[in-house]
Amino acid sequence: MTQLSQPFAAQPLPLGMVGGGQGAFIGAVHRIAARMDGHFQLVSGALSSDAQRAAASAAQLGIAPERCYTSYAQMAKAEAARPDGIRAVAITTPNHMHFPVAKAFLQAGIHVICDKPLTAQLAEAEELAAIGARSNALFILTHNYTGYPMIRAARQLVAEGQLGDIRLVKADYLQDWLATPLEQEGQKQASWRTDPAQTGAGGAIGDIGSHAYNLISFVSGLQLQAVAADLSSFVEGRRVDDNANLLLRFKPVGSAAPARGQLCASQIATGKENQLTLKVYGSKAGLEWDHECPDQLRFTPLGESTRILTRAGVGANAAANRAVRVPGGHPEGYLEAFANIYAEAALAIRQQAGEVLEASAHQHYPSLHDGLEGMRFIAAAVRSSNQDARWVTLAELQAMQPA
């Protein structure tokens, strides 16, 4: 197999969706991502808890009325029973629903493709991980930034040792859409994302900080040792953090001094639409990536000039080239990266079923394990901030969970 976007089979996998009805943002993204390469076809949904909205959304999306559900539990049961039942479900609800929905489908033996963060609460994440371990169904978390070809190129460069010992990692995820009290004006996205009951204890740290942390892990391969976090709510009346400044310490690798890092997740950075940057500096080379220009990776071997590695360009490596659709100089973006996660999901599902035999060294999708790590990261940051930014280790959080 050369590229993720190539068809794995003549017919798409039947897909269901929970959440993502009219007015939602991420549901539409999942649908395009699922459809882009023809790997999935949406045939079923519990698109809204409001029956009328669910039906209207389903009709608009070409879902047959009998496969439009108002309860995810009913949907899991019914679809599992159908001979032509869905093979995977996309969960695109607010965070607090990830756990019960994912649990229902995993237990019904249906593969789950779930938006991030994994759950609203760490304890739920621990439980879900245990459920997942006992299920044959796969669990794919849509940390979509790992789908960018140049992020995959970066991961390969690090894995090959081209950066030497990693010393410093910096990730900033800056937005400004919550610079005003939008949730007090009834904006739907702002409302649930700033409601601790729906989003969890973390605000910016959970919504976007978890992406930044996942990206660091994915590219650097480093394991987080501890965080010192300073979370703030700048907008009056806001119930969760809208800015998170962090120091990071990573576990040592070999005999080198352990890497350190900085992370900033802000939703009040006036002027920033959605800028995620990653910088990794090692003893042999450094690399920089900016989501505003995702087709490029700046790579600088120590003592040499900076090189602009480009998606599908002459300097792109195998991990990157597997994840592209069009030649260099034809920009790809967010939806293509998201679709790569769906393509990885389709591939893994086909492989598990024996429908595809071929494998690639560069296959990867964010897993339950990654999701659990992300939840520990969020919990550690919240605890650290509550204790005046003292260092909180991830081990400390694992220790406090029941077996």
Stretch 238-277 residues interacting with a second copy (CB under 8 A): 243, 245-247, 249, 257, 260-262, 264, 266, 268-275
Task: Tell me which residues in 334-373 interact with a second copy (CB under 8 A).
Answer: 334-336
- Tokens at residue 398, please? 């694992």
Q: What is the dihedral of CA 232, 237, 239, 245, to 10 degrees?
A: -10
**Residue 186 region, left (φ>0) first, then alpha (ψ -120 to 50), else beta?**
left
Region of 59-67, 190-198, 205-213, 358-366 interacting with a second copy (CB under 8 A):
59-67
Angle at 143 (CA atoms; ends 137, 146), nearest 5 degrees: 110
**Shortest Å, Cβ 274 to a second copy:** 3
56 forms part of the interface with a second copy (CB under 8 A): no
Q: Which of 29, 112, 278, 372 binds a second copy (CB under 8 A)?
A: 29
CA 265/CA 292 separation, integer angstroms: 16
Task: Tell me which residues in 276-335 interact with a second copy (CB under 8 A).
Answer: 279, 281-288, 291-295, 298-310, 313-315, 325-335
**Shortest Å, Cβ 77 to a second copy:** 26
**Shortest Å, Cβ 328 to a second copy:** 4
Region of 131-139, 229-237, 356-364, 367-375 interacting with a second copy (CB under 8 A):
229-237
Query: In this complex, which beta carbon is closest to a second copy, that of residue 126 or of residue 336?
Result: 336
**Shortest Å, Cβ 364 to a second copy:** 21
- Tokens at residue 291, please? 């989501």
Contacts (Cβ under 8 Å, ≥6 apart) of 81: none
CA 218/CA 318 separation, integer angstroms: 16
Query: In this complex, which beta carbon is closest to a second copy, that of residue 122 or of residue 297?
Result: 297
Q: Which of 228, 343, 378, 397 binds a second copy (CB under 8 A)?
A: 228
Query: In this complex, which beta carbon is closest to a second copy, that of residue 122 or of residue 278?
Result: 278
Query: In this complex, which beta carbon is closest to a second copy, that of residue 102 or of residue 246?
Result: 246
Angle at 292 (CA atoms; ends 153, 147), nearest 5 degrees: 40
126 forms part of the interface with a second copy (CB under 8 A): no
**Shortest Å, Cβ 102 to a second copy:** 24
Instruction: Check: CB of residue 16 under 8 Å from CB of residue 90.
Output: yes
Query: In this complex, which beta carbon is closest to a second copy, that of residue 44 or of residue 266?
Result: 266
Contacts (Cβ under 8 Å, ≥6 apart) of 270: 176, 179
CA 189/CA 27 separation, integer angstroms: 12
Q: Which of helix, strand or coil describes residue 165?
A: coil
Query: In this complex, which beta carbon is closest to a second copy, that of residue 29 or of residue 380?
Result: 29
Distance of CA 60 to the CA centre of its chain: 27
Q: Which of 119, 103, 105 is nearest to 75 (CA)?
A: 105
53 forms part of the interface with a second copy (CB under 8 A): no
Binding track, positions 156-195, relative to a second copy; x by CB under 8 A:
-------x---xx-x-x--xx--xx---------------
Q: Is 114 exposed, middle or buried (0-12, 13-18, 19+ CB in 10 A)?
A: buried
Q: Which of 348, 370, 346, 369 is nearest to 359 (CA)?
A: 348
Query: In this complex, which beta carbon is closest to a second copy, that of residue 66 or of residue 236?
Result: 236
Region of 55-63, 97-105, 127-135, 340-348 interacting with a second copy (CB under 8 A):
55-63
Instruction: Check: CB of residue 174 under 8 Å from CB of residue 272.
Output: yes
Total residues contacting a second copy by CB under 8 A comes to: 98
Instruction: Check: CB of residue 13 under 8 Å from CB of residue 41.
Output: yes
**Shortest Å, Cβ 55 to a second copy:** 12
Query: In this complex, which beta carbon is closest to a second copy, that of residue 105 or of residue 250?
Result: 250
Instruction: Check: CB of residue 55 under 8 Å from CB of residue 65.
Output: yes
